[in-house]
Structure 1
Amino acid sequence: MLTLRALLADPALELRLLVPGTEGALDAEVVWVHNTELADPSRYVRERELVLTNGLWLDAAEPAGFVAGVRRAGAAGIVFGLRTERASTPEGLVEACRSAGLPLLEISVEVPFTAITRAAAATYAAERQEALVGLVRRGNALAAAISHGAGASGVLAVLRRDHDLPLAVVDRMGRVLGAAGAQLDTEQAATAAGALARRPRPLEVDLGPAGRATIYPVGAVGDVDAALLCLRPVTALDRVERDALEQAARFLSLEVARQQTVQAIEQRFASELLDMVLSGAPRAAEVPGRLRAFGVDPDAPLAVCAVAFRSGDPTLPGVVEAITDFFLAESLPALVAGGSQDVVAVLPWRRPQADLSALARRLVAALAARFPTREPVAGIGGTAPDAAELRRPLAQAREAVRVLRARRGGPDVTTFAELGGYRLLLGLQEPGQLQRFADTVLGPLREHDRRRGGELEATLRAFLDHDGHWGATAEALYVHVNTLRNRLARVAELTGRDVSRTADRVDLFLALEAAGDPSRKVGA
């Protein structure tokens, strides 16, 4: 760094210190040199420039006025060049600099100002060369860390070899991917993730007790997927530190992209495994190998837990990752697969059922903390003795969570065994068989409603939801009782099932439950 002290230490410049200025002034950075003979150079001198002058302005101005202008510009100091005609620095200039606290140096008659300019240029060239060499060396180290699988923490460790900065990497889901010299709690990580989602994206984020952190976006596949956080405000970072942080953020993009690719492959494998389980015998032989790939013993007793949200979409971006993180924190191997209606976790389980319910409640609480505006629910199927028997507990867990989503209020965790008797009956059937039954019974109603814009299915649901009470149903639908009777008579004509007969009412009820509420369906 170019400083007045460094210039004074160069014997070739033959500089002499006349006024040291304020404390630390000799060690502050000098950004460049500026030669001027104007009586008031304040309009042209940049902040932290070193003013070089021969004092030709002395015939037109007083030293105090010249010094005031230099001080007003925020200059680093003054170098007075001696001439044959003026063999000493004017005492008035010395006194003015001393009063203003501005450093004053004197250069001999034998040394031109260009020598100072060359010294400054050489210093900056050396600094730039050192910075470039550092960038190349650090780039090689960062590339090695990425190629050797050191992850985000390995990238941060390389950066901290050169710069003692508190660092962390947080993705847009609020997960801490790596840290070095900094510790972020869940709330701080969520705050950083929220800053990433804002438009325009801020340069800094306030992390409360941790102070303000500078944000360096980390992009992976066309968007910002994470942030390199330096737990210092941007004004506290020098140019070299900022360059190093920007370089690290670019290498982190490679690591984040790699992680996303791995996660996408794992999710595809996990989803395919669920399809294998549901398809039955044709692909049953592939299931054990897939489970082993996720660290789950296929020969151990296996439990299935399905998770969704009551409000809005049943799943959200980042839910699979959050559930995976939960099981990692619990030191439990688990296969976690996301679908359009729920997220399913398969895990080995040799403990009592009550412990599994307690685990599911902790999972729901963790998701509620991660997604505070949503209502997570979890359904638990029975326990399979091994991978060959996973089909039934998988269907049971999904049915249990579907029931919880349909309810407003009530428990947020349930087992399949705790559902009503008709739920147990439905859960024991093949999904394809249930759908065919529902289509057979309800198909004519839905075709009628589609063609005529009718509300026969909605009317039937409301009638059964109100336990067959005509008055309560009519009031809920805002129609006259006679209108309700006409609609249900039409239902009987189309389906061949009369709501006044118990057997027919059971058929209609089971068909509606098997089909699910169309208004709640999201995605395929």
Structure 2
Amino acid sequence: MFLLDASLAQSIVDRAMQILRTNVNVMDERGLIIASGDRARIGSRHEGALLVLAQGRAVEVDAAVAQRLHDTRPGINLPLRAEGRVVGVVGLSGEPDAVRQQAELVRLAAETMLEQAQWMQMLARDQRLREELVLQLIGVSPPGAGLDDWASRLGVDLARPCVALLIEIADASLAADAVLAAQQRLRRLLAEQEPGLACAPVTLRELAVLMPLPAAESDLRSRLQALHGRLGGEGSGQPCLALGGRFGGDDGLARSWQSARATLQAGRRHRPQAAIHCYDELTLPVLLAGLGEGWRADELRRPLRRLAQQDRDGQLRCTLAAWFAHDMKAAPSAGALHVHRNTLEYRLRRIGEITGLDLARLNDCLLLFIGLELDVAENREIPQ
């Protein structure tokens, strides 16, 4: 239900009195003056407004009538309507014949402002509901009853395949107020440039977006790049994007959000300079990141621990990481390490000798790869 508050009422008074030479009052549903050009009158009861509220029509008060009413001055008082009911009264001081036409114009302008305020309240309410819907869909808030009907009323098509997109304000040096300003900027840009996207703030630095899936995977990557370009712009709070995987079932979006967060962590480890990370491009590192505890993890790390005992400067681990990063291809691996191909082959032989594994066998390569991934997931830096 729409309520006329003092801030909006004072805006009505201030605008009217920029043009008029008479005092303007605005009264609420109880007949109390909540805004006035004469600030001393704010908070007092206006008997002329009480007559308007009781009768639902304009009430003119001339000098004779004003003498019979308590603390009332000559003027015209008119009802203000919103949502089909009287929500307040606007009054102009002065002899009725002199201010009658002006009073009607002020009433029309005031009701236009009420309609605008009502519309903004509805938009704000719908935005809050859409945000809460997003939080429920991604599993951050507990799901409520009638989620499908709720989504339909808000224009969110749950039948359309979507994945969760995490937009993070990555600059750790920003103070809290600067982060908040950056988040508000991102939300405004999303609303202006991607009005169909449902999004919600999850933390001060994180926004969750429900990203509809296009027909072609390449189109999704292109759209992410275009979105990042539009959200970047100038100033602080440059965003980092992490796209989750597509999962079916009622909890599909919740799992997609979890994978988006894991993708962001994996992307930071593997591609620290990149601003866009996709689950489909980092699937194995994301899934392996969950194997970091227990006796199985100890066994997976054992070859790397054996290597570390004889690799004090980390050169062999760095070589192994570069080799895996370049799909175990010699030429690009050697180029990335700035060494001769023979040097690369020598180092790989040493890795095999120390660990007791044969790098020509897939299973042995997988043991080394997984062990290295688990170490990286624990933020054990690979020497450069």
TM-score, structure 2 normalization: 0.44
Computing the radius of gyration from Cα coordinates, the structure with the larger value is 1
- Which protein, 1 or 2, shows the higher relative CO under an 8 Å CA cutoff with sep ≥ 6? 2
